Amino acid sequence: MKKMISTLCVVFIFGFTSVAMAQVYVGGAYGVSDAKSSRNSVPEMEGDAGYRVNLGNQLSNTFSFEVAYVDLGSYLVGSLDGEQDLNESSDQLDISGYELAVIGKLPLRKRLSLFARLGLFAWDGERVIVDSSTVEPNVFASSDEDVSVGLGVEMEFLDHMGVVLEANQYKTEDVYNQLYGLGVYFTF
């Protein structure tokens, strides 16, 4: 997996330096994050606010590369039966990471496009369980690389500014994290 990340980074850097007609952009989106598990043995999680900040290189009207920092917020984790355990006073999961993605665009009008994103999400997760029977919280940390996908609509309002409405999914082990956001971008 690390070899794959290195290869994608080289392609990304090559894309920034080799295309004369490329347009660099920076942007961000803020919205609601939610998590769903693919296994029944993972407790239910209550969503939070999340955000992503990105830097990209639009190589043409239909293709671009992007690197982003994604923070999915802090999920409140429930128990398997939906009831809080008697000895737990809180159970929280924080997930954030970096995404390297390829974006394909379908122009609908001069300033309106649909887009799809496919990427690699290198994430870190930390679960903190505060137990009323102990003084110190139990902290569990993990990290890995998984797949990310996204869909959205982009509308350019000014020559160098636009807005996006997007839905992204970030896989972390057996959990699918969704981030639904509204954002802005600026081109240079």
Q: What is the pLDDT of residue 91?
A: 76
Q: What is the pLDDT of residue 114?
A: 98
- Bigger pLDDT: 130 or 17? 130
What pTM does this model have? 0.81
| Containing structural domain, residue 145 | 2-187
What is the Cα–Cα distance from 148 to 176, expressed in whole angstroms? Answer: 9
Q: What is the CATH number of the domain that holds 158?
A: 2.40.160.20
pLDDT digit string, tens, across residues 27-81: 999 999 988 877 665 566 777 899 999 999 999 989 999 999 999 998 877 654 4
Structural domain count of the chain:
1
